[in-house]
Amino acid sequence: AKASPYVTHLPDALAHGVEVRANCMALQVEIEQDSGRARGVVYATESDGAHRLQRAQYVAIAGYSIETPRLLLASSSPRFPHGLGNNADQVGRYVMVQGATQTAGRWPHELRMYKAPPPEISSEQFYETDPDRGFTRGFSVQTVSPLPIGWAEHVLADGHWGRALREYMRDYNHWATIGVLNELLAHPDNRITLADETDEYGQPVARMDYTLSDNDKANMAYSTKVITDILHAADAQDVLTVQRFAHLIGGARMGSSPEHSVVDANHRVWAVPNLFLADGSVCPTQGAANPALTIMALASRLAQRMASGAAMVDDVAARIGRTRSVAGSRR
Residue 118 carries which DSSP code?
A: P
What is the domain partition of the chain in residue ranges? 5-92+250-329, 96-191+212-248
Residue 61 and residue 155 in contact, taking contact as beta carbons nearer than 8 Å: no
* Residue 79: partners with Cβ closer than 8 Å, 6 or more residues away: 31, 33, 36
pLDDT, position 115: 80
User: Model-level pTM greater than 0.85?
Assistant: yes
Sign of the dihedral defined by the CA atoms of residues 155, 161, 164, 165, in that order: positive
The CATH architecture that domain 5-92+250-329 belongs to is 3-Layer(bba) Sandwich (3.50)
Walk along the chain (331 residues) and give the pLDDT tens digit of each residue: 467 888 888 999 999 999 999 999 999 999 999 999 999 999 999 988 899 999 999 999 999 999 999 999 999 999 999 999 999 999 999 999 999 999 999 999 999 988 865 567 899 999 999 999 999 999 999 998 888 999 999 999 999 999 999 999 999 999 999 999 999 999 999 999 999 999 999 999 999 999 999 999 999 999 999 999 999 999 999 999 999 999 999 999 999 999 999 999 999 999 999 999 999 999 999 999 999 999 999 999 999 998 888 766 566 555 555 544 444 444 3
Q: In angstroms, rounded to a whole number, what is the distance separating the alpha carbons of residues 137 and 128?
A: 5
Contact 154, 172 (CB under 8 A): no
DSSP state of 57: S
Q: Which residues pair with 45 in a beta bridge?
A: 24
The Cβ of residue 300 has, within 10 Å, a number of other Cβ atoms equal to 11
- H or E element in which residue 65 lies: helix 64-74
Residue-level pLDDT at 330 = 42
Contact 98, 220 (CB under 8 A): no
Which pLDDT belongs to residue 327? 44
Residue 323 is predicted with a pLDDT of 47
